[in-house]
Amino acid sequence: MRDSETYLGTVQDVNGTTVSVLLTEESLTDFIYIDGQGYRIGQIGSFVRIPIGFIDLFGIISQVGASSIPGGQSEVQSHGSRWMTIQLIGESQRNGIFQRGISQYPTLGDEIHLVSEKELYRIYGQPNKPFFVRLGHISNAESIPALIDINKLITRHSAIVGTTGSGKSTTVASIITALSNQMLYSSARILILDIHGEYGNALFDRANIYKINASSNAKFKENELQIPFWALNFDELCEICFGEFNDEKSRNIVLERIQSAKANSLTKNSKKGVTLDTLSVDSPIPFNIHYLWYQLYIETFGTYYKGPVGQPIENLAYELDSFGEPKKGNPMEGISPIFKNVKNDKDDNEKINHIPNSHDFGKQLLLLGSKLRIPRYNFIFKPKDWLPDEDGKVTKDLDSLLKNWIGSEKPVTILDLSGVPSDILHTTIGILLRLLYEALFWARDLSQGGRHRPLLLVMEEAHIYLSENSKGMASKVVQRIVKEGRKYGIGAMIVSQRRGCQ
């Protein structure tokens, strides 16, 4: 076979799956033609073949080089000793289908051959299998389709990496377009966390798009993205609403008040499967955070008229407006009440004192109040049909929200997060991922559960919230999905910049 035009050299060293090859003098040219097709020799990433009996081993070139010419050898070895290193990746029976893994290894002196387009087809070409999707073609062989195994893509997770501007989003859009072909894959279910709002234009014909401040004038339909605050667990709610507390006592006070608010709501609005005995502070039971904030604000900043009768909370000292009305504020609008200053002059009969036993988290309440007033946070604090009244009653419950996201007739859902305030973006992503994971976990044996209809979660710009040192909520949930999601039909596609480009 050494007369073959594909012959490159011989094996010189074998170290596991790493093979060193000495190139022949005849293969010094950089370009050869085989059956009218041009091939470059020694390209990093290109394939080579090692025939061993009835088996062909395949490897990928990982390194090429040339040693210096020893003295007195220039006439014998005018070009020096040229070599390359290859990594073995798989094998096939002669003219058979390629399989990953190596059952036997080459020995010294075995021949190395260039892989032609015909042989590349043995590695890549499986177009007739229904669970393979065509995305394009192999870069150095236009006649060979680039195929992706849907089952492995979803059940084994995947990653798309590249530098800024390298075409990651275009690649993702191409993959999603192929996977969401309803004629071929009627049960396809894909959800994209779209950080920059890039995918609506590409996928609007097959996707439900949820966006903060959705436009009615857009060329495609946009729906309002709503994430009810009461669906958050306690840690998430604290992160969004209060930030860090000064001490554990303050945190426990808020925990107890939220638990109490949910218990009162459950008493007035029963929920199937939840009782007061099974209720926890993390249970997704609607309650009104505006009134909770308002009451805590009064208890923290309030003043009262000191008198012989009544409790302090019954004698609050509000400032008066120009009409003589007390400035009580508006809890639903996040407008705080305004209280008179403390007055304890011995010559004045009117005494005004602070509410006794006031709380030590005024800074956190001021932060929450500002968020209740700012429209950018309405998708959490005023989620329309999911906004509870004072008694915790809602028009729609969490099941309808999740049905919109992962139970639609359309195969793709895009959650456009470009309008999420940057200070809560990471937490919001963690909340969405947790809700989706837990929804499919608890519904795993139902017809819409992940086992019967898997879900592919596409996480765009993942390096933003999944960095090496990230310890946020999103990072923890993604680790959980990657470790356990396959058991419940959840596949992850992580789209990120390369580590050195971040």
Helix or strand run (H / E) with residue 23: strand 18-23
How much of the chain is helix, strand and coil, in % rounded to 5?
Answer: 30, 25, 45
237-275 in b/e burial notation, b at 16+ Cβ within 10 A?
bbbbbbeebeeeebbebbeebbbebbbebbeebeeeeee
Q: Which has the closest alpha carbon to 438: 429, 447, 450?
A: 450
pLDDT at 70: 44
pLDDT at 130: 72
Type of residue found at 107: T
Q: Are the C-beta atoms of residues 77 and 95 closer than 8 Å to each other?
A: no
Q: Are the C-beta atoms of residues 79 and 28 closer than 8 Å to each other?
A: yes
pLDDT at 71: 44
pLDDT at 401: 95
Q: Are the C-beta atoms of residues 493 and 157 closer than 8 Å to each other?
A: yes
DSSP string, 63-89: EEEEEPPPTT-TTTSTT-EEEEEEEEE
Cα distances (Å, whole numbers) of residue 282 to 277, 316, 472: 13, 33, 18
Q: How many CB atoms lie within 10 A of CB 442?
A: 11
Q: How many CB atoms lie within 10 A of CB 34?
A: 14
pLDDT at 29: 58
DSSP string, 457-497: EEETTGGGTS-TT--SHHHHHHHHHHHHGGGGTEEEEEEEE
- For residues 47 and 307, give the distance between their C-alpha atoms in angstroms, rounded to a whole number: 91
pLDDT at 68: 54
pLDDT at 118: 80
For the chain, the residue count is 502
> Per the confidence metrics, is the pTM higher than 0.85?
no
Question: Which residue is associated with the tokens 């859902």?
Answer: 413
Instruction: Tell me the two tokens of residue 99.
Output: 């399989």
Helix or strand run (H / E) with residue 223: strand 223-224
Domain ranges of the chain: 7-124, 132-139+143-228+394-501, 234-380
pLDDT at 74: 42
C-alpha 206: how far from its chain's center? 20
47: three-class secondary structure by DSSP: strand
pLDDT at 470: 67
CA angle 482, 150, 461 (to 5 degrees): 50
Instruction: Tell me the two tokens of residue 390.
Output: 């004072």
Q: Which has the closest alpha carbon to 479: 452, 450, 500, 459?
A: 459
- For residues 89 and 99, give the distance between their C-alpha atoms in angstroms, rounded to a whole number: 9
The sign of the torsion formed by the CA atoms of 192, 196, 199, 201 equals: positive
- For residues 79 and 44, give the distance between their C-alpha atoms in angstroms, rounded to a whole number: 20
Helix or strand run (H / E) with residue 456: strand 455-459
List the pLDDT tens digit at each of the 502 positions of the chain.
Answer: 555 778 888 999 999 999 999 988 766 556 676 666 667 777 888 899 999 989 999 999 999 888 754 444 344 444 557 889 999 999 998 878 888 999 999 999 999 998 888 888 888 876 667 778 887 777 767 778 888 888 888 778 899 998 888 888 998 998 999 889 888 888 889 999 999 999 999 999 999 999 998 887 778 889 999 999 999 999 999 999 999 998 999 999 999 999 999 999 999 999 988 999 999 999 999 999 999 999 999 999 999 998 777 788 889 999 999 999 999 999 999 999 999 999 988 777 788 899 988 889 999 999 999 999 999 999 999 999 999 999 999 999 999 999 999 998 899 999 999 999 999 999 999 999 999 999 999 888 877 777 788 899 999 989 888 876 667 888 889 999 989 988 888 999 999 987 655 5
Rg (CA), the chain: 33
State which fold the 132-139+143-228+394-501 domain adopts.
Rossmann fold (3.40.50)
198 Cβ partners below 8 Å, 6+ apart?
A: 169, 460
Residue 393: how many CA atoms within 13 Å on its side-chain side? Answer: 4
Q: Are the C-beta atoms of residues 88 and 57 closer than 8 Å to each other?
A: yes
